[in-house]
Amino acid sequence: MKNPGLRTLSGSLNKAKDLSSRFCRRPFERLEIHQYLHGFCCCPSWLPTYGGCLEDMELMELWNSPTMQDIRRSIHDGSFDYCDHQQCPFIQNNSLPLKSEIDDYLESIIKNQQTVLPTPPNEMALCYDYSCNLSCPSCRTEKTGLKKGPEYDKRMKITKDLIALLQQYSPDFYIRLLFSGGGDPFASPIFMYLLKNLDPQWCPQIRITLLTNGTLLSRSTWERLGPVTELIDSVSVSVDAATPEVYSQVRKGGSWQHLLRNLSFLASLRKMKKLRTLSLNFVVQQMNYRDIPDFIQMAQDLKYVDEVFFSLVTNWGTWSDEEFAQQSIWNENHPEFTQFLEVLKSPLLESPKVFLGNLKSYRERALASRDHRPGEASPPTT
């Protein structure tokens, strides 16, 4: 069952990899619930097959559905058949561990080629409410907000069922909740309800990663959250720009000044060790690629950013083929492709905090081309 509407990186430099000796933990640890309540074991743009629908089955039934088992089998046999090798940042960045390096509880799962798992996922990404205060062109055509009606009721029920399920878990069972990958948690009444109903007194084993555009996560918002902030140890902010001019194009409806103020506040939380990690995200497209070096510098100036995560833009159905081609700066046929490679030569990309992901082969091409003589064949990418 493939994710509808997703269009892959046709024309990308990224190639399939030999992963026969590699392992990916995600299908064995992670469940993502997306729009239509489809359950994935990874980001749908990296692994576009879902295992079932939470509306039709119980969580453990979905977690061990035949499709989920097949996905795990493909990891065991090293084929990674369900994965989009071009898109996955961990494949392209050569970040997947060797099977021989796995030395925790997954070691026995690998040894026994296990595909049915007796325990629930210990990571759940809640992406089933796409409510957002912004209308970024790469994501949606207009602001969306789910506040009432049948779809709201359906998702609120899922949320309340999740809270009840978490209350049944043993205090020894560690679980991480991540939300919201499809919108912004602070623009969602459903996810705000979830935050206000998670109490460290009954769920001390839960940890929360907030995925946000950062515009609504101010100091006052944080303080209003109350006790649940004890569970929030990670914040990932999607920014996609380093200047107000570019930000106004790629993050429509956002305030650059509000964002900078909120990022400074989040950096202060990280400084005080109230957060374990703070990361900034940048989706590379024609509108913003020139901001890449300044974005890294901005993260460095904040001092307490742990990771700067890059990824190539994907078409989620918001652009026509012509519009997407215009934004696909990573395509060798793009009229600005050469300028794109020039930007990627910046030494700022050498920072250990930069995770290039599926941008890695482009950085390699850019560096290889520095000594490339005119008339010679283009240097290969790995």
Of 118, 120, 144, nearest to 130 by C-alpha is 144
Alpha-carbon gap, residue 325 to 130, rounded angstroms: 25
pLDDT of residue 137: 83
CA 284 to each of CA 13, 27, 290, 293: distance values in angstroms, whole numbers, following the listed order: 15, 27, 9, 12
d(CA 352, CA 49) in angstroms, rounded, equals 32
Paired with 178 in beta bridges are 125, 209
* Mean pLDDT for all residues in the chain: 92
Residue type at 187?
Answer: A
Give the orientation angle of helix 189-196 with respect to helix 150-168, to 10 degrees: 20
- Residue 143: pLDDT band (50, 70, 90) is confident
Query: 């995770």: which residue's tokens?
Result: 355
Task: Give the torsion through C-alpha atoms of 281, 285, 290, 296, to 10 deg.
Answer: 10
The pLDDT value recorded for residue 278 is 99
Q: CB–CB of 8/311 below 8 Å?
A: no
Is the predicted pLDDT of residue 41 greater than 60, yes or no? yes
pLDDT of residue 6: 47
